Each structure stands twice: as C-alpha cells, then as structure tokens.
Amino acid sequence: MIPPSFEYLRPNTIKEAVAMLQQHGDAAKILSGGQSLIPMMKLRLARPEYIIDINRIPGLEYIKEDGGYLAIGGLTREADLESSELIRTRFPIIHDTAGFIADPQVRNMATVGGNLAHGDPANDHPATMLALGAQVVATGPVGSRTIAIDDFFVSLFATALKANEILTEIHIPMPPPHSGGAYFKLERKVGDFATVGVAAQVTLDDKGICQKAGIGLTNVGGTPIKARRAGDFLPGKKLDDAAIKQAAQLAADDSEPSSDLRGPADYKKAMVKELTQRALQRAGERAGK
Ligand SMILES: Cc1cc2nc3c(=O)[nH]c(=O)nc-3n(C[C@H](O)[C@H](O)[C@H](O)COP(=O)(O)OP(=O)(O)OC[C@H]3O[C@@H](n4cnc5c(N)ncnc54)[C@H](O)[C@@H]3O)c2cc1C
C-alpha cells in the first residue's frame, strides 16, 4: 500500500504546470483530488516519476453561468457541486451524479476535472456530460482548445487530452425552458462504482413533445457510452410510456457490458433498459411533462 517514490512538484500557475508537463512528458501526472491517482499508485497500477500538484493554482474552482453556458472549473470538488444552488436548480442531473460518487470524504477532495480526465468508464460524470452535450477546455503550451465531450473518451483510461494539456474547464449549454435531467445508478452498496448508471437529459415543448434528448451510460463498455440511437429516436415524439420504453430498449442495444463480479452481461443490459426508463421518466417530470 506504499506507492513507489516520486518527485513532488507544486506549480503556482497553469503556465508553470504546463511547462512541467512539457519537461517531464509521460513520466509526470497531474494531481487534483488524488482520489483515483493515489489508490492506483498504492496498488502500483500507476508509477509516475513526477507528481504535479495543481491544488495551489488559484482560479480553477468555480461554478458559474457565463454567456449561455454553465462553466465549471476543472478543480471544482464534488462537494461544491452538491451544495451549489445553481446546480441543484438548473442541473439536477449533475446534482444527482455528484451525490452518487463514493462518500462525503471522497467528495470533499475529488474533482470533476479529475473524474473526466481519468477516462474510467466506471466514473459517473462522463455519462452525465455526454447526456448534456458538454465541452471540455484543455490548456496546453499554445493556449486553450475546446473538445466536444463526444470526442473526449478515446479508449479505456484514455482521453483526447494530450500529455502536455490540463483540463481547466467544462462548459455545458444552459438548458432551455421545459428541460430536465436525471442520473440513476445501480450499485452493490452505497458508495460503490456503478454496476450500471444512466444519465438522461430532455427538452420538451409546451405540449410535452420531445425536442432534444441525450442519454449517457456508465460502466457498460470500454469507454463511457453515448446512447445515440435512443437520443435520436425521441425528438418529435411525445415523452410517454411507449416512447420511453422503446428508447430504453435502444439504449440497452447500444450498451456493451462484459460479465464480471458485478453481474453477467445480459443482466447489465436489462438494467440499462430499466434505469433508462426511470431516468427518462424523472427527466420528463423535472422538465414539467
Ligand atoms: C473509495 C472511493 C470510491 C469511489 N467511488 C466513485 C464512484 O462511485 N463514482 C465515481 O465516479 N468515482 C468514484 N471514485 C473515484 C473518484 O471520484 C475519482 O477519483 C475522482 O473523481 C477523480 O478526481 P480526482 O480529482 O481525485 O483526480 P486524481 O486522482 O487527482 O487524478 C485522476 C487522473 O486524472 C488526471 N487528472 C486529474 N485532474 C486533471 C486535470 N485537471 N487535467 C488533466 N489530467 C488530470 C490525473 O493525472 C490522474 O491520471 C471513488 C474513489 C474512491 C477513493
């Protein structure tokens, strides 16, 4: 349980942190909340020679509305998402998601940037960000670039971030009126990683016809999965039980779970269907169906 030795670096600015990444390349890792990195080092699944601790860099922890977008700083803690009035009232799907992660001790440290940058298909935020159509801001030696969340998760534990880039912000479009979302998670015990998780976000018109839908799936494939067929099926349809049932089947068809200690693959597919129905029902209620 003791990690291999490493050199600890503590930059005061993003520029310094990026320069350190440039200098040390693959031998370096960013430390945010440390809630994935430190356990992996203790288990010797990660052996960085340099740890670049970005926790003292000011201005990376915020949740604000900015020009039609919700902007979340990369170092924002799960506990801050949970207690944010803006998140609770306008993005209940994110409030649901943060509340499902681990336990209060972990949530006090773990960051939303780290949750995405880790690229773990079992983490909960990726599915929610896929459902919301988020964008990730990556800052590197030549400035910042924006990556659509659909292009962010490349393969198991791999993202579109380059080795010399830091995830500095997440942008999410502010939902129009009659929008709602929800995250449902099946876990073996409270605080566990998901057996299956489903995030659903919908926008309805004033007659209850779906205008837009996004559905993301947790821990049922090698990457977080966007259930595209389900999301494309719903617009133009009334969000009633029949449409929800069909969309849920399409989401289950898009999942690619494997059998493991959390259950056999066919059970997980059945759970994707069930949780998608529940998430869409709740999302519709929150949208004012
Ligand atoms: C007991 C326990 C239970 C947990 N249960 C859950 C759960 O139910 N659901 C869930 O989603 N998660 C769970 N987690 C994982 C935890 O939520 C994640 O570790 C956390 O969200 C990752 O963020 P972090 O700030 O701790 O990242 P770190 O551990 O600091 O970093 C993780 C990885 O991302 C990289 N990284 C971090 N920040 C950045 C950045 N800004 N830019 C570029 N790269 C970066 C690091 O180099 C490292 O490779 C659990 C963890 C523990 C210890």
Place of tokens 């490493």: 6
pLDDT score at 1: 78
What is the mean pLDDT of the segment spanning 2-24?
Answer: 96
pLDDT score at 138: 98
What is the mean pLDDT of the segment spanning 21-31?
Answer: 96
Asked whether the predicted pLDDT for residue 154 surpasses 90, the reply is: yes
What is the mean pLDDT of the segment spanning 51-61?
Answer: 98
pLDDT score at 119: 97
Distance (Å, rounded) from C-alpha 194 to C-alpha 262?
9
pLDDT score at 289: 63
Distance (Å, rounded) from C-alpha 185 to C-alpha 199?
9
Asked whether the predicted pLDDT for residue 65 surpasses 80, the reply is: yes
Distance (Å, rounded) from C-alpha 109 to C-alpha 98?
12
pLDDT score at 35: 97
Q: Of 22, 29, 30, 57, which is best to mutate to test ligand 1, by the most ligand atoms within 8 angstroms of its C-beta?
A: 30
What is the mean pLDDT of the segment spanning 30-57?
Answer: 96
Centre a 10 Å sphere on the Cβ of residue 45 and count the other Cβ atoms it contains.
10
Q: How confident is the model at residue 20 (pLDDT cuts 50, 70, 90)?
A: very high
What is the mean pLDDT of the segment spanning 239-266?
Answer: 97
Does ligand 1 have an atom closer than 6 angstroms to the CB of 186? no
Ligand 1 atom nearest to CA at 39? 53
State how beta strands 194-204 and 179-187 pair: antiparallel
Q: Of 118, 170, 219, which is best to mutate to test ligand 1, by the most ligand atoms within 8 angstroms of its C-beta?
A: 118
pLDDT score at 141: 96
Instruction: Collapse the DSSP code of 177 into the 3-class scheme (helix H, G, I; strand E, B; otherwise coil) and give the result.
Output: coil
Long-range contacts for 23-27 (Cβ within 8 Å, ≥24 apart)? 24/49, 24/50, 24/52, 25/163, 25/164, 26/163
What is the mean pLDDT of the segment spanning 80-97?
Answer: 97
What is the mean pLDDT of the segment spanning 231-255?
Answer: 98
Does ligand 1 have an atom closer than 6 angstroms to the CB of 115? yes
Q: Of 75, 101, 166, which is best to mutate to test ligand 1, by the most ligand atoms within 8 angstroms of its C-beta?
A: 101
Of the candidates 244, 181, 239, the one whose C-alpha atom is nearest the C-alpha of residue 211 is: 239
Distance (Å, rounded) from C-alpha 105 to C-alpha 143?
34
Q: What is the DSSP letter of 103?
A: -
Q: How confident is the model at residue 2 (pLDDT cuts 50, 70, 90)?
A: confident
Does ligand 1 have an atom closer than 6 angstroms to the CB of 239? no
pLDDT score at 34: 98
Does ligand 1 have an atom closer than 6 angstroms to the CB of 173? no
Asked whether the predicted pLDDT for residue 260 surpasses 80, the reply is: yes
pLDDT score at 76: 98
pLDDT score at 247: 98
Mean pLDDT of the chain: 97
Q: For the segment 76-88, what is each residue's pLDDT rounded down to a tens digit?
A: 999 999 999 999 9
pLDDT score at 230: 97
Cβ contact 197:225 at 8 Å: no
Place of tokens 């791999």: 158
pLDDT score at 48: 97
What is the mean pLDDT of the segment spanning 26-35?
Answer: 97
Radius of gyration of the chain (CA): 19
pLDDT score at 269: 98
Centre a 10 Å sphere on the Cβ of residue 161 and count the other Cβ atoms it contains.
20
Does ligand 1 have an atom closer than 6 angstroms to the CB of 110? yes
Asked whether the predicted pLDDT for residue 179 surpasses 90, the reply is: yes
